[in-house]
Amino acid sequence: MESHIYHALGLHMHQPPGNIELLLRTNEWEARQILLCYERPLRYAREYEDVARLHLGFSGTLLEQLCSTDMGDRLSALIGADLEGVMREYPGAKGIEFLGMGYYHPLFPLIPREDWKPQIERWKQQAESLGLHAPGFWPPEMGFCMEMIPVLKDTGFEYVVVDGVHVKPRREGMRREDIIYKPHIAEYDSAEIVVIPRDRDMSNAQESGLDPGWFKHEVMHKTERCRGNCLLTTWSDGENGGWFRQMHEPSGFWGHFFAPYMEEVRRGDCPIIPIKISEFIEENPPSTYVDVQTGAWNVATTSGYDFSQWEGTEKQRAGIEELWATSREYHELGRRIPEVEEHILRAETSCNLFWGDAWVHRIYEDTRAAKELMRALKSSLKK
């Protein structure tokens, strides 16, 4: 039976709470660059509807900002397109598969487990209100640990994308190509989920700039020893860096790489076939079991083998301890209080930790508000 090389292309989209409004006040040009990154995927998916297959993940806080009625007209005027209409039309895009995540983009292994499900369920509620269905899960910062599997299954996800460098086969003798370019099964506490390994090197190229010809030859070389149908998975941020924010579209990701790539596929000149992950899994159900070591993706100068980008300084670690202590106090109340929960979940935004010590103070702003609400509640109960 003839085997094929398939490609699952993914883009991750996120802005921390209030960031778009902040940019509108302080740097309108950058706001325009970023907002266009949310309009282009739909436009290009439509233009190449017959061949294009894309995966998109929008954080809940980004969806909230893009769908804000208070800013809708201004955002649309800034990019010359109806942004609210774009978001409404995304669910009907034939070639796009959406992935879920935590609402406030938390780095899951660094936050309390009690908050994992609320983060995910809040995201699902926001996404479903827009008609977005997500069969797969994209862990923010690709921060993953095996303990997440039962929660992901319980909240309805069929697969999870992880950085391929963390995938470890349970049986010996597997080629690297058959680890990175195949879906697998991971199991924890009797729950199983399909694991999709991301090719780190090709994803780095996707984020920084690549040529369709180089891409084709590199993929052919990297997968030549892969047995059976192969799935190359590339994933990167979709709105960071000049490559994606390029205002001259022929010089950026969509014009220089994506459109020529799709033209080759359309002509039948490309040996790589774009596909949705859910479709590949259905046609090529996995049978090999793997473990995924705890880690994240590579960012800045860090490897992602640990979480030093987010917990490498004393202030970052103190902020994380503050998160855990406030969350523990909340869950000890034994009741759900939406106003308190919102502050705790927002404090867990990974951006509060990503920028070294610069944004750690935002954690304390939300935990302080959560504590004040809990103190008021406890006081009222004593009366």
pLDDT in tens, 269-299: 999 999 999 999 999 999 999 999 999 999 9
Structure tokens at 50: 């017959």
| 240 has a pLDDT exceeding 80 | yes
Mark whether 205 and 317 lie in a shared domain.
no
Q: What is the pLDDT of residues 193-227, one digit of tens each?
A: 999 999 999 999 999 999 999 999 999 999 998 88
Read off the pLDDT band of 135 (50, 70, 90). Answer: very high
Structure tokens at 300: 């800045």
Read off the pLDDT band of 383 (50, 70, 90). Answer: low
What range does the domain containing 343 cover?
312-382
Percent of the chain with pLDDT over 70: 99
Query: Which CATH number is 56's domain given?
Result: 3.20.110.20
Mark whether 354 and 226 lie in a shared domain.
no
Q: What is the pLDDT of residues 72-101, one digit of tens each?
A: 788 888 888 888 888 999 999 999 999 999
What pLDDT was estimated at residue 70? 77
* 237 phi and psi angles, rounded to 5 deg: -60, 150
Q: What is the pLDDT of residues 139-182, one digit of tens each?
A: 999 999 999 999 999 999 999 999 999 999 998 888 888 999 99
Position with higher pLDDT, 258 vs 380 = 258
Contact 198, 161 (CB under 8 A): yes
Q: What is the mean pLDDT of residues 350-371?
A: 97
Taking every pair of Cα atoms in the chain, the longest distance, rounded to a whole number of angstroms, is 76
Residue 301 belongs to some domain of the structure: no
Q: Helices in 161-228 by DSSP H: which ranges?
A: 176-180, 200-208, 212-222
Mark whether 282 and 326 lie in a shared domain.
no
Mark whether 252 and 332 lie in a shared domain.
no
Percent of the chain with pLDDT over 90: 88
Mark whether 247 and 322 lie in a shared domain.
no
| Chosen domain end from 263, 292, 321 | 292
Mark whether 265 and 354 lie in a shared domain.
no
Q: What is the pLDDT of residues 312-356, one digit of tens each?
A: 999 999 999 999 999 999 999 999 999 999 999 999 999 999 999
Tell me which H or E stretch contains 231: strand 230-237
Structure tokens at 110: 């660094």
**What does the chain come to in residues?**
383
What pLDDT was estimated at residue 1? 58
Residue with tokens 């940019």, as numbered in its chain = 23
Q: Read off the pTM.
A: 0.96
Instruction: Give the C-alpha separation, 309 to 93, whole Å.
Output: 35
